[in-house]
Amino acid sequence: MTQAHTQETGQLGDAPQQSGSRIGRLFDRLSGRLRNDRGIWRRGLVLAAIAVLLALVMIFHADIPNRVGNLGSLLETFLPWLGLFLPVLLVLGLVRRSASAVLALVLPVAVWLNLFGGLMFSDKSGGGGELTVVTHNVNAENADPTGTAKDVAASGADVVALEELTDSAVPTYERALAGTYRYHTVQGTVGLWSKYPLSGTKPVDIKLGWTRALRTAVATPRGEVGVYVAHLPSVRVKFNAGFTAGQRDDSAEALGQAIAREPLNKVILLGDLNGTMNDRALAPVTAQMRSAQGAAGDGFGFSWPASFPMARIDQIMVRGLDPVSAWALPRTGSDHLPLAASVDY
């Protein structure tokens, strides 16, 4: 009886011990395999090299030359998307059971977070703002200009800039916005609608042969603000020519020179620049102005294409003003998203 009782007690007592130690035995088995796996550091060296190369590309992107197909500008246009390679390399490193590949991944992760972590994980926007502005490339082929005009007017903006206006669509926008904006000007394919008076309005020559930029002074309750509206030439990616951006680059230089000559201290640039803030070709403009999105936006603020935004090629930039908040508005009938920002004097 005693023997039977002891055996039963031992069997009952072993059951929880076995189930409770299953994870421990699994860990021991796994750690033993790793200790005995002498190739854990030798495997995945190609993946480790790719991770280091990715980090170097992000660190030295400004040094990648534009001489061949404007490769540097093309890379800088979509620079944040290099982060998509990080989880792919991690999965491949784990599949290969390569300590070298996983450890090397720390470098590009740190670089990407340094470049874009502030945009990705922090909301810098505040409340209020003394002046609200909107910019929108309305698309020359927009099938619903009336609806688009009503959408941007509903934003409550004090100043609205529209790009890619056609002669046939201008009267439609003028009628739809007349009830909200008393003052407006259209120069070529760009226009500005304002709740405050305009003065000194003139086209800006950006070396295209036709008008796609304007300058005006908006008489706000806190004083005059120089406002520029611009639509720089489009860029294309071609297999035989690379990133064709020469004409855009020349226009950016001309626009930068015009802004540099602006006599007013407070300046706002609104428009479709067909380039991101990272693109070194826009330096004649970006070097002298602040991005409202970069200073006070939430996230990357991608604006194009509207169906699946991949880049912020539409910009709101300021000089002598303090951005308070910046955001993208809901999609309209255009292939771009409208962008808004509020600023303080």
**Shared-domain flag, residues 163 and 115:** no
Select the more confidently predicted residue: 221 or 122. 221
Tell which of 121, 143, 166 closes a domain: 121
* pLDDT of 19 strictly over 50: no
* pLDDT of 15 strictly over 60: no
**Residue 234 pLDDT:** 87
Confidence grade of residue 8 (pLDDT, cut at 50, 70, 90)? very low
| pLDDT tens by residue, 20-57 | 567 766 656 655 555 666 688 889 999 999 999 999 99
Residue 17 lies in a domain: no
Residue 218 lies in a domain: yes
- Give CA–CA dist 275/285, Å, rounded: 11
**Residue 166 pLDDT:** 98
Residue 9 lies in a domain: no
Tell which of 121, 148, 180 closes a domain: 121
Q: Above pLDDT 90, what percent of the chain?
A: 74
**Shared-domain flag, residues 139 and 116:** no
Confidence grade of residue 237 (pLDDT, cut at 50, 70, 90)? low
**Shared-domain flag, residues 138 and 175:** yes
Confidence grade of residue 1 (pLDDT, cut at 50, 70, 90)? very low
Q: Above pLDDT 70, what percent of the chain?
A: 85
Residue 321 lies in a domain: yes
C-beta of residue 124 within 8 angstroms of C-beta of residue 300:
no
**Shared-domain flag, residues 144 and 265:** yes
Which CATH number characterizes residue 185's domain? 3.60.10.10
| pLDDT tens by residue, 300-339 | 999 999 999 999 999 999 999 999 999 999 999 999 999 9
**Shared-domain flag, residues 77 and 222:** no
**Residue 11 pLDDT:** 46
**Shared-domain flag, residues 199 and 297:** yes
Residue carrying the six token digits 């189930």 = 19
3-class secondary-structure state, position 158: coil
* pLDDT of 250 strictly over 80: yes
| pLDDT tens by residue, 67-119 | 777 788 888 989 999 999 999 999 999 999 999 999 999 999 999 999 998 77
Select the more confidently predicted residue: 208 or 13. 208
Torsion over CA: 233, 237, 239, 241 (sign): positive
Burial class (CB in 10 A: 0-12, 13-18, 19+), 210: exposed
Residue 15 lies in a domain: no
Lowest mean pLDDT among 187-191, 193-197, 213-217, 240-244: 240-244
* pLDDT of 284 strictly over 80: yes
**Shared-domain flag, residues 101 and 164:** no
* pLDDT of 254 strictly over 50: yes
Tell which of 121, 140, 160 closes a domain: 121
C-beta of residue 50 within 8 angstroms of C-beta of residue 106:
no
DSSP-derived secondary structure for 4-60? HHHHHHHHHHHHHHHHHTHHHHHHHHHHHHHHH-TTTTTTTHHHHHHHHHHHHHHHT
Torsion over CA: 264, 267, 272, 275 (sign): positive
**Residue 31 pLDDT:** 59
**Shared-domain flag, residues 112 and 143:** no
* pLDDT of 3 strictly over 70: no
By residue range, what is the domain housing residue 240? 131-344
Torsion over CA: 59, 63, 66, 68 (sign): negative
**Residue 6 pLDDT:** 46
* pLDDT of 149 strictly over 70: yes
Q: Could you tell me the two tokens for 324?
A: 């308070």
C-beta of residue 345 within 8 angstroms of C-beta of residue 320:
no
Which residues have a Cβ under 8 Å from the Cβ of 214 and sit 6 or more positions away? 185, 187, 188, 190, 191, 192, 201, 202, 203, 204, 228, 229, 230
Residue 12 lies in a domain: no
**Residue 34 pLDDT:** 54
**Shared-domain flag, residues 107 and 222:** no
3-class secondary-structure state, position 267: strand
Residue carrying the six token digits 């909107």 = 134
Q: Strand 314-319 vs strand 267-272: parallel, antiparallel, or unpaired?
A: antiparallel
Q: What is the 3-state secondary structure (H, E, C) of 77-143?
A: HCHHHHHHHHHHHHHHHHHCCCHHHHHHCHHHHHHHHHHHHHHHHCECCCCCCCEEEEEEECCCCCC
Residue 39 lies in a domain: yes
- Give CA–CA dist 57/75, Å, rounded: 9
Q: What is the mean pLDDT of the chain?
A: 89
Residue 1 lies in a domain: no
**Residue 21 pLDDT:** 67
* pLDDT of 148 strictly over 70: yes
Report the number of distinct structural domains present in the chain. 2
- Give CA–CA dist 44/50, Å, rounded: 10
